[in-house]
């Protein structure tokens, strides 16, 4: 059974601080996605990581993928309140568009 685990599940951090969210998955995959979800809303695509060693950055967020370790990280730099949301990683293991999502990390940035 494929497992996608994120930690931490809940994260409360002060503005200006740095932190990393971890995503571990239990099967071979070269495709890892990060999504953001605001309360009551749909999923917003943040990053698409398509190969081992891939690193992508957008603003205060940076994502990386290590397919050998089956690990992806989402690093937050100098957090701001607007980053408060739930973040999901998702693994795509077969033909595409069959995503298996992690448990989610609920991030709260405190002013």
Partner 1 sequence: DAGVTQSPTHLIKTRGQQVTLRCSPISGHKSVSWYQQVLGQGPQFIFQYYEKEERGRGNFPDRFSARQFPNYSSELNVNALLLGDSALYLCASTTLPPVAAFFGQGTRLTVV
Query: Interface residues with partner 1 (CB under 8 A)?
Result: 4, 31, 33, 35, 41-45, 48, 88, 90, 92, 94-104
Query: Closer to partner 1 at the Cβ: 69 or 95?
Result: 95
Query: Would you give the distance in Å from CA 92 to the centre of its chain?
Result: 14
At its nearest, how many Å lie between partner 1 and the CB of residue 16? 29
Distance (Å, whole) CA 7 – CA 88: 10
Query: Closer to partner 1 at the Cβ: 10 or 110?
Result: 10
Query: Closer to partner 1 at the Cβ: 16 or 59?
Result: 59
- β-strand 85-92 against 71-76: which pairing, if any? unpaired
At its nearest, how many Å lie between partner 1 and the CB of residue 11? 15
Distance (Å, whole) CA 33 – CA 31: 7
At its nearest, how many Å lie between partner 1 and the CB of residue 86? 9
At its nearest, how many Å lie between partner 1 and the CB of residue 96? 4
Q: Transcribe 28-92 into DSSP letters.
A: --S-EEEEEE-TT--EEEEEEE-STT-EEEETTEEEEEETTTTEEEEEE-S--GGG-EEEEEEEE
Query: Closer to partner 1 at the Cβ: 43 or 71?
Result: 43
């Amino acid at each position: 059974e494929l497992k996608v685990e994120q930690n931490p599940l809940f994260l409360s951090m002060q503005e200006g601080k740095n932190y990393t969210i971890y995503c571990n998955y239990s099967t071979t995959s070269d495709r890892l996605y990060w999504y953001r979800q605001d309360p009551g809303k749909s999923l917003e695509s943040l990053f698409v990581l398509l190969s081992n060693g891939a690193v992508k950055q957008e603003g205060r967020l940076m994502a990386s993928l290590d397919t050998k370790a089956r690990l992806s990280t989402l690093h937050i730099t100098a957090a701001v309140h607007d980053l408060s949301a739930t973040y999901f990683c998702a693994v795509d293991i077969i033909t595409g568009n069959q995503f298996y999502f992690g448990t989610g990390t609920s991030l709260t940035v405190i002013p």
